[in-house]
Amino acid sequence: MKGLESLFKLIDELRKLPGVGRKTAERLAFYLLKSQRGEVEALARAIIELKDKVRLCSTCSSITETDPCNICSDKNREKNTLCVVEEPHDVFAIERTKEYKGCYHVLMGVLSPLDGVGPSDLKIEELLKRVRDNGVKEVIMATNPNLEGEATAMYLQKQIDAATVSAEEKILITRLAHGLPVGADIEYADEVTLSRALEGRRKY
């Protein structure tokens, strides 16, 4: 519509957000239009600040404002247990269970040959280096229980085995127990299911 370019520009931007269709984008845009200037500014600032401040932890690749992240720098966390997840939001899902006391390693994706995602696109070298150099005793595979997640966990298990053949002590590699709905995302699992999956993890 001519003469309302700024409104339609905002609607277009909002529609790019996940789960936001045209109707929702319009509703949000009209809501913002009616809001106080201060409120709108606070929202805009929060978005910019998020992009300026949040980055990846250089150790585990989870998201953080300080490097290393709070988990990696916490002396009370077990440094010899690593939980391997696909994305930073999976760390938050597992942290919500309050069950896990080890550290994490975020792969930043999952192996997916069809989408052209290979081992070098993920934080796999970094994981192998951590496992080799830091006296890691257990690696918990917490990739999603779907085809790609399973294949990635299996690939990692072989890589870790190969990278640590000379290690004095064999590294224990475990997979989250089932009970997690197959095909579901760790991110959306409820705390109870996720706690049980952690407790009941089994050896490869």
Rule CB under 5 A: which residues touch Zn ion? 57, 59-60, 68-69, 72
Nearest to 203 by CA among 180, 165, 162, 170: 170
Q: Least distance (Å) from Zn ion to the CB of residue 105? A: 9
We find the least distance from the C-beta atom of residue 24 to Zn ion, in angstroms, to be: 34
Q: Is the Cβ–Cβ distance between 126 and 105 less than 8 Å?
A: yes
Smallest separation, CB 91 to Zn ion (Å): 9
CA distance 120 to 113: 12
Backbone angles phi, psi at 123, to 5 degrees: -85, 55
E-strand spans in the chain?
55-56, 63-64, 78-85, 102-106, 138-141, 172-175, 202-203
- Residue 56 Cβ, how far from Zn ion at the closest point, in Å? 8
Q: How far is the CB of 104 from Zn ion (least distance, A)?
A: 7
* C-beta of 102 vs 145, nearer to Zn ion: 102
Query: Which one, 57 or 173, has the nearer CB to Zn ion?
Result: 57
Residues in the chain: 204
Contacts 24+ apart (CB under 8 A), 187-193: 187/87, 187/89, 187/90, 187/93, 188/93, 189/93, 191/96, 191/97
In the bound complex, what is the minimum distance in angstroms from residue 58's beta carbon to Zn ion? 8
The residue assigned the tokens 């699992």 is: 189
100 neighbors 71 (Cβ within 8 angstroms):
no
Judged by CB, which is closer to Zn ion: 126, or 161?
126
Q: Which is nearer to Zn ion, 72 or 160 (CB)?
A: 72
